[in-house]
Amino acid sequence: MPPIGDRQPIFLATRSEISTFTADIIMAKSNIYRFCTGPWNWSAGQDPYGPPTRTEISFDRKLTELKKIGFEAMMFHDDDAVPEIDAKSGAQVLKEAKELKKRLDGEGITAEMVAPRLWFHPNTVDGAFTSNDPKSRQYAIDRSRRTIDIANALGTDLMVLWLAREGTYIRESKNGRRCVDLLVAALDAMLAHDKKIRLAIEPKPNEPMDVAYLPTIGHALAVAQLTRDSKRVGCLIESAHAILAGLDPADEIDFAMAFGKLWSLHLNDQNGLKFDQDKPFGSNNLRVAFNQVRALERNGYGQKGEYVCFDVHPFRTTQQEHWSAHLSNSRDTFLRLLEKARSYPEKQAEQLIADRNYQDLDQLVIEHLLGGK
Ligand code: GLO
Ligand code: MG
For ligand 2, the distance from its centroid to the CA atom of residue 133, given in whole angstroms, is 27
Distant-in-sequence, close-in-space partners of 91: CB < 8 Å, separation ≥ 6: none
Angle of helix 358-370 relative to helix 346-354, nearest 10 degrees?
160
What phi-psi label fits residue 59: left (phi over 0), alpha (psi between -120 and 50 degrees) or beta?
alpha
Nearest CA among 171, 252, 172 for reference residue 204: 252
- Amino acid making up residue 197: I
pLDDT number for residue 176: 97
The reported pLDDT for the residue numbered 373 is: 67
| Closest approach atom of ligand 1 to CA 40 | 9
**Residue 280, preceding peptide bond in cis (omega within 30° of 0):** no
Query: How far is it, in rounded angstroms, from Cα 45 to Cα 55?
Result: 9
- Positions in the chain short of pLDDT 50: 1-31
Among 77, 219, 266, 326, the active-site one is 77
Nearest ligand, CA 113: 1
In this structure, which amino acid lies at residue 355? D
Q: What pLDDT sits at residue 255?
A: 98
Cα 56 to ligand 2 centroid, rounded to whole Å: 20
Q: What is the torsional sign of CA 35, 224, 227, 190? A: negative
Of ligand 1's atoms, which has the minimum distance to the CA of residue 162? 12
Q: Where are the domains of the chain?
A: 32-342, 347-373
Write the secondary structure of 172-220 as one string of H (helix), E (strand) and C (coil). Answer: HHCCHHHHHHHHHHHHHHHHHHCCCCEEEEECCCCCCCCEECCCCHHHH
pTM, entire model: 0.92
Residue 244 CA to residue 311 CA, distance in Å, equals 15
**248 CA to middle of ligand 2, Å?**
16
Q: How far apart are CA 40 and CA 49, in angstroms?
A: 19
> By C-alpha distance, which of 73, 142, 69 is closest to 114?
73
Of ligand 1's atoms, which has the minimum distance to the CA of residue 204? 7
- Which atom of ligand 1 lies closest to the CA of 276? 7
Best CA proximity match to 1, nearest among 243, 300, 215: 300
Q: Write out residues with Cβ below 6 Å of ligand 1.
A: 115, 160, 162, 202, 204, 238, 266, 276, 311
Residue closest by Cα to atom 11 of ligand 1? 162
Of all protein residues, the one whose alpha carbon is nearest to atom 12 of ligand 1 is 162
Residues 6+ apart with CB under 8 A from 22: none
**CA 162 / ligand 1 centre spacing (Å):** 6
| One-character DSSP codes across 66-121 | HHHTT--EEEEEHHHHSTTGGGS-HHHHHHHHHHHHHHHHHHT-EEEEEE--TTSS
User: What's the CATH fold of domain 32-342?
Assistant: TIM Barrel (3.20.20)
**Which of helix, strand or coil describes residue 266?**
strand
Question: What region does 366 belong to: left with phi over 0, alpha with psi -120 to 50, or beta?
Answer: alpha
Check if 86 is active-site. no
What pLDDT sits at residue 31? 43
Q: Which of 47, 60, 78, 80 is catalytic?
A: 80
Residues with CB under 5 A from ligand 2 (ion): 238, 266, 311
**Helices 134-154, 176-193: inter-axial angle, 10-degree rounding:** 40
80 is catalytic: yes
Distance of CA 137 from the midpoint of ligand 2 (Å): 23
Task: Compute and round to an integer the Cα radius of gyration of the chain.
Answer: 21
How far, in Å, is the centroid of ligand 1 from the Cα of 334?
20
Q: Find the ligand nearest to 207 CA.
A: 1
Measured from the alpha carbon of residue 118, the closest ligand is 1
